[in-house]
Chain A
Amino acid sequence: MVSDELDALRGQFSACKTIAFADLSTGMILMTNGDASVERNSLDRLCTEAALLLSKIGQPQFGDLDANTAIAGMQNQIRVFLRAPSEPNDALCCIGTHELDLAAFLPQARACLQRISENG
């Protein structure tokens, strides 16, 4: 179950508050972790941000290749976006605080996305 995977990843990292599974081709968030408290508009913006940073296939907006990982920092928040290697339109969008341990989080998040993408 996608929701179980998202909840399990969220459970491992308390500094990560929201984890969403998105389809970049349609620009839609398909699922979030169970205890996410983010408004629909914010989720839509999160998905737009993912599409801009990771880009639609073959259309990089910053750089010359389609990125597979993006990290975006603001004053009170960090957001992480990951693209599934096997299904490039599948993406994981994560919102956390700056206390999030990226070195520990990124491998776990990539593995989570890979499982979701392969089983979807």
Chain B
Amino acid sequence: MTNDPEILKKLTILASEKAVFRDGARVISNNLIAPLSAVLDEIDNTTLRRKLTFRAQDTFLSLLVAGRRVLSLVDTSDDLENSAPYLNVPLSRDDSETFEAVASILFNFADQKSSVSVESLPAETAVGRNEIGISVGRLAQLLEVDLDEERPKPVQHFVETCGDAFAACLFETDGLWNSQAKDTIMLAKLQKIADQQWPKFRNQYENCTQASTQPHLVVLEGGAEHSDLIAATWAQGEATLFACATKDFDHIHKVWRGLFTF
């Protein structure tokens, strides 16, 4: 029996995101997506039998995964302590000690400050009779992660994080503009841009860069009176137009990188 809403959700995610690769591995976690949630999402999205190797700098962990279930822990880096007794031990609900130990190792792995990448390879080992594995739902329950939790969209998170650095800001979501401003003159200018220039500019820019599904940041110096910089960022159906001082741009750019560049 197919789960149409779940399939639709996953197709939407696949269609809306452009994967970022680093050293051949796909980056799955940044400041917006917690490592543990990213790892569980990856397991949740794995149907065929694969060996998933998750890396956070020098720390790594390999899992045998199939049918959205973790079948066994295959390998880990030495810094993930106490993993040796549980390597290649088939997981099942009947063996709670192994299951909880692997969950604990996964938790320790995810307690990293750096971004996490994943490498997915066909699994070499033959299918064993006792390969029942643990569902990602059960794993999430044990690790107290809500897989269905609605995550904040990155542009909204960007606006909330950088709000104090903006002289004025317009934030578009679901076709409506919300505003915040210390400088009402700049807010009026941004509103004029939103009304008269924004749709055409955005369309032209996406055509020009041929990257309509990617997040964008555009910053102009000298583009408006009364403000050092005017800028726009947009991704995943949300957009913000903002004005700020040059001295605040370093902070704003750092936040943007943390959210949008992995």
Contact = CB atoms under 8 A, between A and B. Distances in A.
Interface of A: 45, 48-49, 52-53, 60-76, 98, 102-103
19 contacts: A45-B208, A45-B209, A52-B205, A52-B208, A53-B218, A62-B218, A62-B230, A62-B232, A63-B189, A63-B223, A64-B192, A69-B220, A69-B222, A71-B217, A71-B218, A72-B218, A73-B253, A75-B215, A75-B260
A48 B204 CA distance: 10
Contact of B224 (A64, A69, A73): A64
A112 to B, nearest CB: 17
B18 A53 contact: no
A117 B93 CA distance: 72
B193 interface: yes
Interface in B206-243: 208-211, 214-225, 230, 232
B253 A52 contact: no
Specify which of B192, B223, B225 lies most central, judged by the most chain A CB atoms within 10 Å of its CB: B223
Contacts of A48: 208
A75 B225 contact: no
A76 B20 contact: yes
Given A49-B209, A98-B261, A102-B253, A66 B222 contact: yes
B257 interface: yes
B261 A69 contact: no
Nearest to A102: B253
B250 interface: yes
Contacts of B192: 64
B261 A67 contact: no
A53 B189 CA distance: 17
A62 B197 contact: yes
Contact of B257 (A49, A67, A98): A98
B201 interface: yes
Contacts of A70: 218-221
B109 interface: no
Given A67-B220, A74-B215, 12 more contacts: A52-B205, A61-B200, A62-B218, A62-B230, A63-B223, A63-B230, A64-B225, A67-B222, A73-B256, A75-B18, A76-B20, A102-B253
B204 A52 contact: yes
Given A72-B217, A76-B20, A98-B257, A61 B222 contact: no
Interface in B111-169: none
Nearest to A51: B208
A80 to B, nearest CB: 10
